[in-house]
Amino acid sequence: MIRRSPALTLIIPNLLTFARFGLAAAFPAVEPGWRTAVLVLAAVSDGFDGAFSRLFHATSTFGQVLDPIADKVFIGAVLVTLVVEDLLPLPVLPLIAARDLAVAIGVLVAVARLGWPAIRRMPPRLLGKATTAMQFALLTWVVYDRSVPIPLLWLTGAISVAAGLDYLRHPHWTRPESAAPGAANRIDATPDLQHPQGDRRA
């Protein structure tokens, strides 16, 4: 029987997560013809780190915080690049990134009120995962076809706005009412910072 190394099962998902930071930095610099491949690699790394974590129960607080940051840094780098190159109109950015803006504001409020432990627990929400998937689909289309599919744009925006509203209805800057005495530091964090697969990071 092959014995897996506990350290290795934690390192591999984090390496896949770190890869998205590298892909975010590379995206603006690569030739347009290679950008679709960069997007696909980012999506694959996003899926595989979650699948690996589920398979081997490889979770860590570091990965829990790092993974959603990597997702948003990568998506942000792609959006900014496409706006600068006039492939996406600037006014659609708040629509596409509505969920991310809501989460960013929520994180600032939570950290200010409760400290950094507020971002440790990140239970997934369906709309948050759907938003990330739709963002990847829309951006891949724009990069590959160099056009903006209006129906997909509006669908992505609608889901993103719905996810933002859903997040604001279930904020993570308050402690659960049912929390037991002495559990004040066990803060519920934003569901939408969670990995799109909703698996890693606890």
The answer to whether 198 and 129 are in contact (CB under 8 A) is yes
Is pTM beyond 0.85? Reply is no
* CB environment 100-123: b (16+ within 10 A), e (fewer): bebbeebbeebeeebeeebbbbbe
Q: What pLDDT shows up at residue 43?
A: 87
How many CB atoms lie under 10 A from the CB of residue 167?
25
pLDDT above 90 (res 9)? no
Tens of pLDDT along 64-122?
667 778 888 999 999 999 999 999 999 999 999 999 898 888 878 877 877 766 666 55
Q: What pLDDT shows up at residue 80?
A: 95
User: Whose CA is closest to 79, among 156, 192, 19, 194?
Assistant: 156
Find tokens 């398979």 and name the residue: 55
Top-confidence residue, 149 or 124: 149
Say which DSSP state 190 is in.
Answer: P
**Residue 85 identity:** E
The residue extents of the domains of the chain are 6-193
pLDDT above 50 (res 183)? no
Output the CATH code of domain 6-193: 1.20.120
How many CB atoms lie under 10 A from the CB of residue 152?
14
Percent of the chain with pLDDT over 70: 66
Q: What pLDDT shows up at residue 117?
A: 67
